[in-house]
Amino acid sequence: MGAIKDVLYVRFYVTDLRVQQQFLEDFGFKSEIDNGLLIARGTDGSPYIYVAEQSSEPTFVSVGFTAESETELRNLAALDDVPVESNNMPGGGLIARLTDPNGFSVEVVANVTDSPLLTVACRSGFNDGAEKQRLGERVAFAAPECLIKRLGHVVLMVNDFSETFEWYQRRFGLLISDEIVMNEEGKEQTLGAFTRCNRGEKYVDHHTLFFINAGDADFNHAAFEVANWDVLMQNHYKLKKAGHRHSFGVGKHILGSQIFDYWKDPDGFMLEHFTDGDLLNESFGSHKRGLEDLLGTHWGPDGMPGQ
């Protein structure tokens, strides 16, 4: 078992809080600005999954995780000799602030009190080729309080994959789901890896963190889960109509199986909607896959998001 349950939030500096809030609302969050802090949540219980403050310099500030327990949080803090402090965000609890080998700020929280769940986007059953769930009725959509459920994963470009993975593995007990390898002149090179939380028999997302061995440290994207395919497509057209910048998709990844849709926020940070991702537990093990599986799709455009 690892020390964390899941990734919880991402934190940014953005150049205009009001403009950013409008984008987040269009993207499907429920948000508010309180005392210079933009806080956005989804329908799951976490009081925040996206946090931003205003600055002239747009910056990815940190990624936040939920510890399995207060004991795990205290152990993590002791390992890096950092204090456990009271968390002044909604829901309170405790927080420890770590720094990874790339200089990324990594926050870990425990004992955060959940907010009441919001109404999830849902619709009547699907009639697919194999199974008909909707008989004698038209498709009906229930109005949700917001479209996004939760933060699912974060992708980071890192200076050195081995050093970075070792750091996270030692502290969080991450498991590799798929390591991307390439053979160059008979030598195996690691391009990066999709890593997941280790919660034993409990099923978790195929990846919580994906590290890209880039020789440079940078934020790549954060991915937020939506309820289903209809919601994802509905929001795709809403964002398009609102004039937001599309990046990549819609498509279905081979590694992780998510249906994806990537967008750029007003400062150019990439945020993704996804649905229908693979869930794995410890016994799924770790696998090696080639670049073609990273860049290929079951359907949709090939390649990587970026533009």
3-state SS of 102-140 is CCCEEEEEECCCCCCCCCCCEECCCECCCCECCCCCCCC
Whichever of 68 and 261 has its CB closer to Fe ion, that residue is 261
Q: From the CB of 228, what's the least distance to Fe ion, in Å?
A: 17
Contact 192, 212 (CB under 8 A): yes
Q: From the CB of 263, what's the least distance to Fe ion, in Å?
A: 12
Q: From the CB of 29, what's the least distance to Fe ion, in Å?
A: 17
Q: From the CB of 134, what's the least distance to Fe ion, in Å?
A: 30
Whichever of 72 and 272 has its CB closer to Fe ion, that residue is 272
Question: Is the peptide bond prior to 250 cis by the omega test (within 30 degrees of 0)?
Answer: yes
Q: What share of the chain is helix, strand, coil (3-state, %, to 5)?
A: 20, 45, 40
Q: From the CB of 59, what's the least distance to Fe ion, in Å?
A: 20
Contact 55, 14 (CB under 8 A): yes
Whichever of 205 and 272 has its CB closer to Fe ion, that residue is 272
Whichever of 247 and 281 has its CB closer to Fe ion, that residue is 247
Residue with tokens 């949709």: 300
Report the alpha-carbon distance of residue 177 to residue 16 in Å, rounded. Answer: 37
Helices and strands, number each (H, E), in the chain: 5, 22
Report the alpha-carbon distance of residue 146 to residue 228 in Å, rounded. Answer: 13
Q: From the CB of 144, what's the least distance to Fe ion, in Å?
A: 22
User: Cβ of 50: how many Cβ atoms within 10 Å?
Assistant: 24
Whichever of 24 and 154 has its CB closer to Fe ion, that residue is 154
Whichever of 73 and 148 has its CB closer to Fe ion, that residue is 148
Residue numbers at the binding site for Fe ion (CB under 5 A): 223, 272
Residue 125 DSSP code: P
Whichever of 261 and 272 has its CB closer to Fe ion, that residue is 272
Whichever of 175 and 223 has its CB closer to Fe ion, that residue is 223
What amino acid is encoded at 136 in this protein? Answer: G
Report the alpha-carbon distance of residue 160 to residue 284 in Å, rounded. Answer: 26
Residue with tokens 């992780």: 256
Query: Which residue has the CB atom at the shortest distance from Fe ion?
Result: 223
Contact 209, 154 (CB under 8 A): yes
Q: From the CB of 272, what's the least distance to Fe ion, in Å?
A: 5
Q: From the CB of 274, what's the least distance to Fe ion, in Å?
A: 6
Largest CA distance in the chain: 63
